[in-house]
Structure 1
Amino acid sequence: MTTTRETPVRLTQFAHGGGCACKIPPGELEDVLGGLARPGASPADTSLLVGLATGDDAAVVTLPAPDGAPGQAVVSTADFFTPVVDDAYDWGRIAAANALSDVYAMGGRPLVAVNLLAWPRDVLPLDLAREVLRGGLDVATEAGCHVGGGHSVDDPEPKYGMAVTGVADPERLLRNDTGRPGLPLSLTKPLGLGVLNNRHKATGERFEQAVATMVALNRDASAAALDAGATCATDVTGFGLLGHLHKLARASGVTAVVDTAAVPYLDGAREAVRDGYVSGGTRRNLDWVAPFTDFGDADADTRLLLADAQTSGGLLVAGEVPGAPVIGELVPKGAHSVVLG
C-alpha cells in the first residue's frame, strides 16, 4: 500500500544517498581495513572476543569476573546514516532501530546509547532535529535502552544514528563465523527496503509497510534465535542479503545455498526494481558479490533485490527461527560462497 503525504521539508532531498545505501562500498571498505590490528595486541589477550577479523556486526569484549563467577561480555557498536525517509520522527525511529540491531545481531541486550547527530543548522530547522532525536528516544525506550546524551556537529548533510553499548553471555553469542554445514538459513524480515526507500526519495510516495518493517526491533528475533540454540547470525543492512551472506559464509568456511523462491519481499519491491528505483549502493553490492556467487538461473531483477541495500533489515540466522521463513542452508565449502537455486 502506498500513500502520498505532504511534508514541509523533504529530508531525503538533502542527502546524496539514503539510509544504509550511503555506506562506503564493501570492497573499498575491506581494502581500507585490511591489515589493521590493535596496537600492542597479544595472542595471550583473549578479552576481545569479536573484533575486525570477520567483519561482524559489533565488537565484543569480556569483562573480568571474580573466580567462579559467570562471565559477562560487553557489546559495542555505532551506526548512523543520511535520511532514508522525509518524516523526521520516522527517520529517528528507523536509525535507532538500525543501531540497536547490531547488538541484537550478536545475541546481546542494549543498555545505553548516545546520539550521533550531524545537522545543517543554517538550512534545516532545529525543530526537525528535535523530532529526529525524539524518534530515536522512543525506539530506545521501547528497547529498554537508556539514551545518555550524545554528540552533534554542524554539517552540510544531515546524519543521525547512535553508538550503543550492550551486554551478552559470552557463551551464547551470535557470530558470523560459527556457521556449519547442514544448518538452515532463516530470514526474519522481508527484503525490498532499499528500492522502496529509493522510490520514496524520488517521488515522495510513502510506503507504510517499509516504515513499519524498519522501525521494528530485532529483539524478539534475537531472543528466538538464542532460544533455538543458534550461534551464527548477522543482520541484513547496507551490503544486502548477498553481501552479508557472503561475509557469513566466508567467515564460517562454508557455502550458502539460497532457495530464491523462498525469499520474502515487501509489497511493491519488485515493481520498484522494474521501474528503475535501484540505488547505486545496491548495484555496487551486486558487483562486489558477483565473483563469489553462482547466480544460477536468477534473473536480473532478482539479483538486484537480493543485493538490495537494506536499512534496519532483519536477522539472517543459521538455524530455524519460529515464524521466520527458511530461505536456504549452509553446505560444505565449494567454489562459491553463495549459490542461488
Structure 2
Amino acid sequence: MDDVRLTKLAECAGCGAKVGAGQLARLLEGLDVRHDPRLLVGFDKSDDAAVYQVSEDVAIVATTDFFPPIADDPYTYGAIAATNALSDVYAMGGEPKVALNILTVPQDMPKEVVHQILRGGYEKVYEAGAVIAGGHSIYDSEPKYGLAVTGIVDPRRLLTNAGARPGDLLVLTKALGVGVITTVAKAGLASPEDVERAERSMLTLNRYARDVMVRHDIHAATDVTGFGLMGHLLEMAQGADLDVTLDVCAVPLMPGVRDWARLGLLPAGMYRNRRYAQDQVQAEGLPLDLTDVLFSPETSGGLLLAVAPADASALVGELERDGRVPCARVIGRMEERSGGRRIRLTQGGERA
C-alpha cells in the first residue's frame, strides 16, 4: 500500500476538479425546471444543497460531492472527501443523518487501499452523528470518492446563501490556502508541516461551527469550496442582490501560500474561478499573488456566515471558545447595492 501515491493517479486534486461556475451555468441552461411548492431550494438557486419540505417542522437536505485524491494516504483521502460532502448540509443549517458511498477505482488498485479510503469515510460520517447505509462503485482509471448525504433541518431555521441583509458582517471559520498547498504537495515541494496543516483543516468537520451558528442571528451561510472565496462570495451577493466590502487584511491565510502563489504554483481551478468572477471584483492596487489565493479553490473549506452586526462579537467569541473551529474572523460586510462591481476589496478598511 505504501507504493501507491494516490495524488499521482489524478490530474486535479480535490475540489480543484470541480467544473467552473461559469461553465456549470452554461451546462444547466435550458433545462426544464419543474416547480414543486415543497422544494424550498433546488439547483436553480446556486446553493449548497437541495431542500425539500416533508412536514411543518422537518425538511430534507440532500447533497452529493465526490472528487479525485487530495491526499496520498488512502484513509486521509477518504476522510477528507467525506468531511467535504457533509459540509453542504451544515451550510444549510442542517444535520446529516444518512450517507451513501460514491466510489470509482482502477481494477488493479490493491484491496487494502480501497478499504482504507472507505474506512476514512465511514469514520468521519460516524463523527458527524450519521450513518453510511450503502452506495455505488464502478471501475475507472482515476480513483474518485465521496458521498450522497441526506440530512434534516427545521424549515423555519433553514439557511441559504441568499439571505444576507445590508449591514451583515461576514465571518469565516477556516483559513484559506488548502488549494495552493495541495498543488505544491502534488509537485513534491510542500513541507510535511504544510501538508499536515492543510490536512488538519480539511479533516475538521463544519459540524462544530454549525452547532454554534444555529444559536445566533445568522441570515445566510455557505461553505467555501471549489469556487474559492471570491466565487462563493459572489453567489452570496447575487442571491441577496447586495454588494460586499471585503477587508483582505482580515482574511486568514495559511502560512506560505502567498509565496507559492508568487511562483505560479496554483491550482487550475483558480484560473477558472478568476475568469468567472473577476469582472465583479474591484481589486485594483492589490498584489496579484493575494488575489490569486482569494480566487483559488478550497477543499473542505470553512463556513462563510452573514451575521447580524449586533450579534457578530458574540458569535466570534463562542466560535473561538469552542476550540474545535479552526478560526473565526470577521472579514467583510454586506452593503446595499450601488451598481458596478459586486465585491470591493479593501486593505484595513480602506478601499483598494
CA displacement at 1:276 relative to structure 2: 2.4
1:37 Cα offset (Å): 3.7
Q: Residues of 2 paired with 1:277 and 1:155: CA distance?
A: 28
Give the aligned length: 326
- In 1, distance between residues paired with 2:264 and 2:78? 27
Once the two structures are superposed, residues 24-54 of structure 1 have per-residue CA deviations (whole angstroms, 9 ceiling, x without a partner) of 1111001111233434x3xxx4200011222
Partner-residue secondary structure (3-state), 1:203: coil
Matched, 1:176 2:161: yes
Structure-1-length-normalised TM-score: 0.93
Q: Which residue is equivalent to 2:59?
A: 73
Asked if 2 retains the 8 angstrom alpha-carbon contact of 1:54 and 1:247, the reply is no
Q: Does 1:160 align with 2:145?
A: yes
Deviations 1:259-284 (A, max 9, x none): 00000011222222123220111111
Are the equivalent residues in 2 in contact too, given 1:107–1:173 (CA < 8 A)? yes
- One-letter identity of the residue aligned with 1:305: V
What does residue 339 of structure 1 align with?
344
Match of 2:94 among 108, 128, 148: 108
What is the alpha-carbon distance in structure 2 between the residues aligned to residue 232 and residue 60 of structure 1? 15
**CA root-mean-square deviation:** 1.3
How far, CA to CA, are the matches of 2:329 and 2:69 in structure 1?
A: 30
Percent identity among equivalent residues? 43
2-side partners of 1:160 and 1:204: how far apart? 25
For residue 239 of structure 2, what is the aligned residue in structure 1? 251
Name the stretch that deviates more: 158-167 or 290-299: 290-299
- Post-superposition offset of 1:286: 1.1
Is the aligned partner of 1:53 residue 2:48?
Answer: no
- How do 1:259-338 residues align onto structure 2 when only pairs under 5 Å count? 259-319=247-307, 320=312, 321-322=315-316, 323=320, 324-334=328-338, 335-338=340-343
The 5 Å alignment of 1:69-148 reads 70-122=56-108, 124-148=109-133
Cα distance between partner residues in 1 of 2:25 and 2:241: 18
Structure 2 segments unaligned to the other structure (5+ residues) = 321-327, 347-352
Aligned equivalents of 1:55, 1:7: Cα separation in 2: 40
Cα separation, 1, equivalents of 2:329 and 2:231: 19
> Is 1:34 the equivalent of 2:29?
yes
SS of corresponding position for 1:231: strand
Whether the 8 Å CA contact 2:165–2:219 is kept in 1: the answer is no
Which letter maps to 1:8?
D
How big is the shift at 1:223? 2.1
Query: What is the alpha-carbon distance in structure 2 between the residues aligned to residue 204 and residue 169 of structure 1?
Result: 46
Structure 2 residue corresponding to 1:195, chosen from 180, 201, 204: 180
How does the TM-score come out when normalised to structure 2? Answer: 0.90
| Cα 1:262/1:160, change in 2 over 3 Å | same
